[in-house]
Amino acid sequence: MNKLRIGTSGWAYASWKPDFYPQGTPSAKFLGYYATQLNCVEVNYTFRSRPAAKTLENWCNSTPGGFSFAVKAHQRITHVKRLKDAGADIASFYESLRPLSAMGKLGPVLFQLPPFLKIDYDRLQSFLECIPEETRAAIEFRNESWFNEAVFKAMREHNVALCIAESDEMQVPEVHTANFAYYRFRRSDYPETVMREVANRVTNAATERDVYAFLKHEETPGGALNARHLLQTLSLAA
């Protein structure tokens, strides 16, 4: 089995105490504890702001070797420029992540597109050519017009993953376009029966590629607890 990276979208939730974080854990220690339970986290903060280099260094120092930060791309790229003529912004954004990459802790960058952005093949092709080849990137399309073989073929040529996201409103097709898989499990509820299905999907994907999988965070600890149980179960089965 390939590498399994499982986590949630964020970690700074005091309401996860005491079910996930032990009672009395200060917020400054949340990330360090989180990294003892899960091996990856998706960072949404970078969608609106670029963290200072010192912040990223602190994140790295708070987590063990092998831990990964998947990072959501800045909204200027995805929502303002909408991928068009974004080469300079993409280069600048990746440069801001250098502290993570220098310490071997940068996971994929997630480019989450707005729901109103419909398919534009030429725009996509130009965008794909701007992504640094030595990095991992995933795209979350939230308009169904993008789901066709021409788009998937272009992504395969650049080793960019289709983000396989699911919510109560939408299900992205389970199509793999890179040497890693990127899942976002965002339904409002994940009972035990559904989590078994999630485990099977992740396990099947991991037979051929590395997997990054993120469960819904929210204010309740359910997503974190499901993520921890999923990682523990799959690690024991490996």
Residue 118 has pLDDT above 70, yes or no: yes
The pLDDT, as a whole number, for residue 91 is: 97
**Residue-level pLDDT at 236:** 75
Instruction: Specify the pLDDT at position 1.
Output: 53
Over residues 113-127, mean pLDDT: 97
Q: Spell out the residues 6+ positions from residue 155 whose beta carbon is closer than 8 angstroms to its own.
A: 128, 139, 161, 162, 177, 178
Average pLDDT (56-60) is 97
Dist CA 25 CA 33 (whole Å): 9
CB within 8 A of 53, min separation 6: which ones? Answer: 96, 98, 99
Mean pLDDT: which of 48-52, 163-167, 217-221 is highest?
163-167
Peptide bond into 64 cis (omega under 30): no
pTM of the complete model: 0.96
Percent of the chain scored above 70 by pLDDT?
99
pLDDT digits (tens, 9 = 90+) for 25-57: 999 999 999 999 999 999 999 999 998 999 999
pLDDT, averaged across the chain:
95
Whether the predicted pLDDT of 164 surpasses 90: yes
Domain extent listing, the chain? 4-237
Answer whether residue 155 shows pLDDT above 80.
yes
The predicted-structure confidence for 121-144, as pLDDT tens digits, reads as follows 999 999 999 999 999 999 999 999
Of 215, 212, 220, 27, residue with least CA distance to 109:
212
How much is the pLDDT for 238? Answer: 61
177-215 residue pLDDT tens:
999 999 999 999 999 999 999 999 999 999 999 999 999
Is CATH 3.40.50.880 the right assignment for the domain spanning 4-237?
no
Where do runs of H (alpha helix) occur along 22-86? 30-37, 53-61, 75
Report the percentage of the chain scoring pLDDT > 90: 94
Q: Residue 41 carries which DSSP code?
A: E
